[in-house]
Amino acid sequence: MRNYFAGSCWLSPRLIQNHLIAWIDEKEIAIRSPFFNKKSNILIDSGAFSAFTIGKKININEYASFIESFYNEWEDKVNSIYFINLDEIGNAKKSWENQAFLDKLGFKTIPVIHQWGFKEENLKKALDNYDFIAFGGMVGRKQRQHTIPWLNKCYSLIGKYYKKNKIMPKTHLLGVASPKILYRYPCFSCDSTAYMSVYRYGESSFLKLSKLPKGGKTTNRTPYKNQKKYTYNKKKDVELLIKVLEYEITQYQLQEIDITNFWRQKGITYE
């Protein structure tokens, strides 16, 4: 299982091998590309979700030109490159038209099946024609009420396909890296920006703060000796931030190995 690290990561690209980047984010490509190497796995997102949230239209011809130029530049320099279709959220018909357009140009991009307006016929079509499928529309949705019931339907169909064809199609979960999901469904890859909470909010998914005493107040905190004279030491704080971020990324990478082994023991492997 691959966990692609998404989002702007000015502190961490040297630590990451699996990169998810929206092609419209030229700044992020510039930041990450110096760290691409033979071990790098690159997943290029069309940026459809980001564009949808701000009401921006994306030109499919521009995306096609980008796919061609990026692939030609990096094909022999990295381990793998995948491109996600330019899907139109809420419009499966238009998404399939975009898929067909890019296929005709020779770019077999990854089709996206959305939780919103889901129809089994679209998933069956994807399974019959593509060996890699992405599931989207789960960001911001409640796992128990929405995501898990929907993925149960999707992977039930995938299970039937696997039983019939003896081939497990690759699936990618867009914006999802929850262990509860990843140990439940045998996906080939996922992505999220969860690791960024370290420098967004000062929170870690793996480092847990000790509980406060009853009443929620610390009883043994010692104030700075010269509290009024205290000045912010940016260098030391950034060094600490990088150290915690490195730990966070390492834990996600170890989790990636654990989940891969979990599914391998159940007979699910990918090339």
Say how many CA atoms lie within 13 Å of 85 toward its Cβ.
32
Tens of pLDDT along 167-203?
A: 999 999 999 989 999 999 999 999 988 888 776 766 7
Domain 2-265, second-level architecture: Alpha-Beta Barrel (3.20)
The two tokens of residue 145 are 């009420």
Q: Is the pLDDT of residue 224 over 60?
A: no
First-to-last alpha carbon distance for the chain, in angstroms, is 11
Position 240 scores a pLDDT of 82
pLDDT at 244 over 80: yes
Place of tokens 């491109």: 83
How does residue 208 score in pLDDT terms, banded at 50, 70 and 90?
Answer: low
Round to whole Å and give the CA distance between 264 and 93. Answer: 36
12: pLDDT confidence band, cut at 50, 70 and 90? Answer: low
Which of 102-106, 187-191, 238-242 shows the lowest mean pLDDT across its residues?
A: 238-242
Residue 10 — very low, low, confident or very high, per pLDDT cuts 50/70/90? low
Mean pLDDT of 232-250: 81
222 or 4: which carries more pLDDT confidence? 4
Nearest residue to 136 (alpha-carbon basis) of 55, 192, 61, 54: 192
Compute CA distances 170 → 1, 167, 182, 257, 267, whole Å. 10, 9, 14, 17, 14
- Please, where are the H alpha helices in the chain? 26-32, 48-54, 60-74, 92-104, 120-129, 148-165, 179-182, 197-201, 234-265
Q: What phi and psi values does residue 18 have, to the nearest 5 degrees?
A: -105, 115
Residue 195's SS3 state is helix
Q: What is the DSSP letter of 221?
A: P
* Confidence band of 266 (pLDDT split at 50, 70, 90): very high
Q: Are the C-beta atoms of 70 and 28 separated by less than 8 Å?
A: no
Share of the chain above pLDDT 70, in %: 84
Mean local confidence (pLDDT), 9-19: 80
* pLDDT band (50, 70, 90) for residue 40: very high
* Cβ neighbourhood burial of 141 (10 Å; 0-12, 13-18, 19+): middle
For 49-66, the pLDDT digits (tens) are 665 555 567 789 999 999
Give the start-to-end residue ranges of the domains of the chain.
2-265
- C-alpha 147/C-alpha 115 separation (Å) is 8
Residue 211 has pLDDT above 90, yes or no: no
Query: Quick one: pLDDT at residue 17?
Result: 93
pLDDT over threshold 80, residue 214: no
HSE, CB side, 13 Å, CA atoms: give it for residue 163: 6
Contacts of 71 (CB under 8 A, 6+ apart): 81, 83, 107
Percent of all residues in the chain with a pLDDT value above 90, rounded to a whole number? 58
| Model confidence, pTM | 0.86
* pLDDT band for position 1 (cuts 50, 70, 90): very high
Evaluate whether 262 touches 183 at the Cβ level (below 8 Å): yes
Q: What is the mean pLDDT of the chain?
A: 85
The model's confidence at residue 146, banded by pLDDT at 50, 70 and 90, is confident
Q: Which of 174, 200, 198, 162 is nearest to 46 (CA)?
A: 174
Confidence class of residue 220 from pLDDT cuts 50, 70 and 90?
Answer: very low
